[in-house]
Structure 1
Amino acid sequence: MEDHPETKYSEAVPHPASWSQDRRLKFIDYRLRWEGRLNRTDLIEHFDISAPQATADLGKYTEAAPFNLAYDLKQKAFMRTEGYAPLYPRSSSRAYLNELLALVTDVIDSRTSFIGWHPEVGVAPIPSRQLDGRSLSLLVQAIRDKRMVALAYQGMKKPGPEARVLSPHALGYDGFRWHVRAYCHSSEKYKDFVIGRMTDVSLAGASEKGSGQDESWHRVLQLVIAPHPLLPAGAKRAIRLDYGMIDGILSLSCRHALLFYALRRLGLHREEGRSPEEQQIVLLNRDELAPFMQPGHA
Structure 2
Amino acid sequence: MTDHLQKKSGRWGQMRRLEFIDFRLLWEGRVNRADLLDFFGISAPQASLDFASYLEQAPGNAVYDRTVKAYVATDEFTPKFAPDDGLRYLDELLAREMGVIDEAESFIGWAPPMDSVPNPIRLVDKPALIKILRAIQSQEALEINYQSMSGPDPTIRTIAPHALGFDGYRWHVRAYCFRRNQHIDFVLARILSLIPKDLPSMPPFDKLWHTYVQVVIGANPELDEGRRRAIELDYGMQDGQSMLTTRQSQLWYLLQKLGLRNQNPDPKVQQLVLLNPKECQEWLGE
Normalised by the length of structure 2, the TM-score is 0.92
Decide whether aligned partners of structure 1 residues 120 and 172 sit closer, same or farther in structure 2, where only a CA change above 3 A counts. same
The answer on whether the counterparts of 2:219 and 2:231 sit within 8 Å (CA) in structure 1 is yes
Structure 1 CA distance for aligned equivalents of residues 70 and 82 of structure 2: 24
Note if 1:222 corresponds to 2:204.
Answer: no
Per-residue CA deviations over 1:80-101 (Å, capped at 9, x if unaligned) read 1222222245352111111111
Per-residue CA deviations over 1:176-212 (Å, capped at 9, x if unaligned) read 00001100011111100001100221111146445x6
Matches within 5 A, 1:3-22: 20-22=13-15
Structure 2 CA distance for aligned equivalents of residues 197 and 88 of structure 1: 43
Structure 2 CA distance for aligned equivalents of residues 269 and 157 of structure 1: 20
Letter in structure 2 aligned against 1:282:
V
Deviating more after overlay: 110-119 vs 198-207: 198-207
Partner of 2:5: none
What SS does structure 2 have at the residue aligned with 1:181? strand
Structure 2 CA distance for aligned equivalents of residues 21 and 73 of structure 1: 25
Partner of 1:236: 228
Partner of 1:246: 238
Partner of 2:276: 285
Partner of 1:7: none
Partner of 1:269: 261
Compute the displacement of 1:236 (Å).
1.9
Decide whether aligned partners of structure 1 residues 260 and 27 sit closer, same or farther in structure 2, where only a CA change above 3 A counts. same
Structure 1 CA distance for aligned equivalents of residues 160 and 26 of structure 2: 46
Task: Choose which of 93, 111, 134 in structure 2 pairs with 1:118.
Answer: 111
Partner of 1:213: 205
Note if 1:103 corresponds to 2:96.
Answer: yes
What SS does structure 1 have at the residue aligned with 2:143? strand
Letter in structure 2 aligned against 1:81:
T
Q: CA RMSD in A?
A: 1.7
Task: Choose which of 248, 254, 257 in structure 1 pairs with 2:249.
Answer: 257
Compute the displacement of 1:233 (Å).
1.8
Decide whether aligned partners of structure 1 residues 220 and 89 sit closer, same or farther in structure 2, where only a CA change above 3 A counts. farther
Q: How many residues align?
A: 276
Compute the displacement of 1:111 (Å).
1.0
Per-residue CA deviations over 1:42-81 (Å, capped at 9, x if unaligned) read 0011000011111111112111222221111111101112
| 4+ aligned runs moved over 3 Å, structure 1 | 88-91, 206-210
Task: Choose which of 132, 145, 156 in structure 2 pairs with 1:152.
Answer: 145
Note if 1:193 corresponds to 2:186.
Answer: yes
Per-residue CA deviations over 1:98-143 (Å, capped at 9, x if unaligned) read 1111101111111111111111111112111111011111111100
Compute the displacement of 1:24 (Å).
0.8
Compute the displacement of 1:234 (Å).
2.0
Structure 1 vs Structure 2: percent identity of aligned residues? 43
Per-residue CA deviations over 1:127-166 (Å, capped at 9, x if unaligned) read 1111101111111110010000111000012112111110
Decide whether aligned partners of structure 1 residues 111 and 254 sit closer, same or farther in structure 2, where only a CA change above 3 A counts. same
The answer on whether the counterparts of 1:135 and 1:199 sit within 8 Å (CA) in structure 2 is no
Structure with the larger RCO, 1 or 2 (CA within 8 Å, 6+ apart): 1
The answer on whether the counterparts of 2:12 and 2:40 sit within 8 Å (CA) in structure 1 is no
What SS does structure 2 have at the residue aligned with 1:287? helix
Structure 1 CA distance for aligned equivalents of residues 56 and 248 of structure 2: 48
Structure 1 CA distance for aligned equivalents of residues 267 and 34 of structure 2: 52
Structure 2 CA distance for aligned equivalents of residues 69 and 269 of structure 1: 50
Structure 1 CA distance for aligned equivalents of residues 133 and 242 of structure 2: 34
What SS does structure 2 have at the residue aligned with 1:200? strand
Gaps of 5+ in 2: 1-10
What SS does structure 2 have at the residue aligned with 1:277? coil
Compute the displacement of 1:292 (Å).
2.0
Letter in structure 2 aligned against 1:72:
D
The answer on whether the counterparts of 2:18 and 2:81 sit within 8 Å (CA) in structure 1 is no
Structure 2 CA distance for aligned equivalents of residues 176 and 116 of structure 1: 29
Compute the displacement of 1:19 (Å).
5.6
Structure 1 CA distance for aligned equivalents of residues 50 and 268 of structure 2: 51
Deviating more after overlay: 275-284 vs 157-166: 275-284
